[in-house]
Structure 1
Amino acid sequence: MSGKPADEAEGVIKDNEYVNAPVRPEDKAPPDRRLLFSSPSLPLLAVCWILLLLIMGLRIYCKNTELKNEIQELKTENQELKENFTKQITDLEDNWEKFNVSRAQWTIDSYCPADTSKVRKCSACQEGWNETQKSCYVFHDRETPSELKTWEEAQENCRGKGADLVVVHDEKEKNVIDGNVTTLAVPNGYWMGLRVEGGTWKWIDGTNLTDASWIGPPAEGHCAVSLGTRTWTSVKCDEKRTRICSQKALSV
């Protein structure tokens, strides 16, 4: 029994020496990397990463495919727009050519009408218009009440004929116009190309009336009407009247 205490004491001493022994460099070495990858959770983590990469790749592929489809659709739409635009231009050119041909034929028929023997005789004014001092006039003396127009409407109607409301340049031309108005008298008279602008009687060509004796004092909103008398009449421009259209005569 005397030997056991000695043995126990020796064991305690060895344990203390082991505990208090300095740490050796080899004891600080990292664990074997193979042990890390041998962990049961590592394969699952790798699978998750692979799935994530696959998902990202699929999303990128789908996005690229969608962008390619959109680009192709835009190209197709752009091509269709180009084709439609080209067709519209072609149609406009064809229509314009037809219009010019039609207008040219209308001009020939109007200024150079053919007689019964199909011989054309040209004049300075189109058929139905009167020539006076290098100008052509048409007096709309057969209009029904529903066809009468305001001054603005009358001017627009004349422009549709390539003309304007009549502009009188001198006393001689005025006498010719008034004489025709007397011959082709209408109840409410004919619109002239004369109206009040800025407190002054002005012709539609921008010139001022030079002879104040031809009509009464200017009143805003008034336009000139010829009744065939010496003095023209000033009436409101929104009243309904017929008109005298005028255009330059051709040199024949």
Structure 2
Amino acid sequence: ILNAYPSEKEMLKELLQNADDAKATEVCFVFDPRQHPVDRIFDEKWSPLQGPALCVYNNQPFTEDDIRGIQNLGKGTKEGNPYKTGQYGIGFNSVYHITDCPSFISGNDILCIFDPHARYSPGATSLSPGRMFRDLDADFRTQFSDVLDLYLGDHFKLENCTMFRFPLRNGEMAKASEISQVPCSDRMVQNLLDKLRTDGAELLMFLNHMEKISICEIEKTTGALNVLYSVTGKITDGDRLKRKQFHASVIDSVTKKKQLSEIP
């Protein structure tokens, strides 16, 4: 899978496309370099995931179809739907360039953990490599508060939104990893985000719904959120309609419904 993505930068573009597919209008990439507390976590197996991470916020929740799709390694709900950009890629799996255990919280009431090694997540097995918690109640939020704090609810509104978290593969994890032996340093993530910054404005033009892309970093000692970069596309309703029509025409040509010469 990873060999299909020679550049890690494609990972961030893929996450942008996935958010656009979900009709999100805003995405924020957040580097969180902190080491989080380990007092209120599932168990000690989870501890390595409390370190530095890349978090990715978008302002749309996951649908049931999205959840089913993302669980299929290398196959998603995009496969049969040409109106979803990047359907021919392997999508979400590109995040394994930097992490061994991606997760997300959606709608502030579903927590999904992907654990291919069945090593970190509670109850994960080789047959069921991960865990999903639904309807997160007050007891769960109290008992596992150090886990939930990872999803930056202090800085982002999580209702009707999605927050991904990709804990960086450190040296110890890399040694034991069957996915990649390459650790991911803080500097590597910062370089990735720097590259995205140079492409941000251009990327907006090729997305259907996206209107704002931001890059932020959490201050290591204070926990403050610093905005490092933000680009917003000012688009009128008329232009938005034209953009949708253009994308629909391109999709029709890809699916052989329309000749290339007919694209406006």
TM tier, smaller: under 0.3
Report the TM-score when normalising by structure 2.
0.24
Q: State the structure with bigger RCO (CA 8 A, min sep 6), 1 or 2.
A: 2
More helix by share: 1
Report the TM-score when normalising by structure 1.
0.25
Q: Who wins on radius of gyration, i.e. which is larger?
A: 1
